[in-house]
Amino acid sequence: MNPKIKKRVVLSTLIVMIICLYTFTAEAQHTYISTDGAEVTVTDKSRIISIGSAVTETIFALEADKNLIAVDESSTYPQASSALPKVSFTRNLSAEGILSLSPTLILASGSAGPETAIRQIRSTGVPMLLLPAEETVEAALQRVEILGEILNRNDEAAAMIQQMKEELAIAEAHRNQLQSRPKILFIYARGPNNLTVAGTSTSAKTMIGLAGGINAFDSFSGYKPLTAEAVVSANPDIILMMESGMDSLGGEMGILSAPGIKLTNAAKNDRIYTMNGTYLLGFGPRLGQAVLDLMQMFHPEDEISEL
């Protein structure tokens, strides 16, 4: 081949490669608005750390976990997540521990913290995107949509959202037909000396309402310590707990020994129920199914199925 022609071919090939590389980079780069208001530009998704149980569960449900290199301690579902290295709990992050894993992208619940750790991580140039953390149906759906876009799983995310909406619609149809709604007391337990009850503005209250129940307490926001007077006065039809909470008390006998519990209709009628905490309060992609299962628990006389 003529040397001049060969040189032109090589040069043309090099230009094409540069154009392709530029185009790929431009297409791969996308800027998102984090829930804390920060603009986060995502360019490299080869080494992802997921922080927050709902975030991690959604990534696995979208079958986009190939590039996950670590998850936080709250991420216990699915089982496959346990095989990954752990970073500290969502609200108690260690910047040093996270950065030691050389992530190229961190996808985290908006409840992640402390702020100092987030600032330290971002100061190194590692993008950290905070996703909606509100424990509501709207936030759960939005989180799936955003993760689907980031991880190039738009179709899978759309199908997942549709399924969640259909399940929640079934629950709504059943709620509209209920003749009565039981009063539910949710107890958060971390050992016999650390028992609190759920008021308004809690994920427990939201789930109770979605499942056709009435939260036992509406006079305060968040959680308050359990007292015999309050429990007896509320006299719930059902007591609901996380499985881990019941385990921390040594089983059902432990909760029956708590102040006032034996005097409730729930105890007298043997209606003290437990559910896996992540499933019950995680607001992840299994939200709709969790609502239906909880509804069946509250209303055993009804067949909770598609109407």
Domains within the chain, CATH numbers bracketed: 12-135 (3.40.50.1980), 178-275 (3.40.50.1980)
- Check residue 2 and give its pLDDT: 56
Cβ atoms of 108 and 131 closer than 8 Å? yes
Q: Which two three-digit tokens encode residue 200?
A: 């308004």
- Distant-in-sequence, close-in-space partners of 271: CB < 8 Å, separation ≥ 6: 237, 238, 239, 265
Q: Which two three-digit tokens encode residue 47?
A: 């080494």
- Check residue 19 and give its pLDDT: 40
- Distant-in-sequence, close-in-space partners of 76: CB < 8 Å, separation ≥ 6: 53, 82, 278
Instruction: Quickly count: other Cβ atoms within 10 Å of residue 177's Cβ.
Output: 9
Residue (of 111, 159, 157, 100) closest to 134 by Cα position: 111
Angle, CA 261 vertex, CA 260 and CA 266 arms, to 5°: 135
Per residue in 75-125, pLDDT tens? Answer: 999 999 999 999 999 999 999 999 999 999 999 999 999 999 999 999 999
Q: What radius of gyration, in Å, describes the C-alpha atoms of the chain?
A: 24
Which residues is 215 bridged to in the sheet? 184
Exposed / middle / buried, residue 148 (Cβ in 10 Å: 0-12, 13-18, 19+): buried
- Check residue 301 and give its pLDDT: 84
Exposed / middle / buried, residue 244 (Cβ in 10 Å: 0-12, 13-18, 19+): middle
- Check residue 1 and give its pLDDT: 55
Q: Which two three-digit tokens encode residue 232?
A: 């007896």
Identify the segments of the chain with pLDDT beneath 70.
Answer: 1-28, 305-307
- Check residue 24 and give its pLDDT: 44
d(CA 147, CA 136): 17
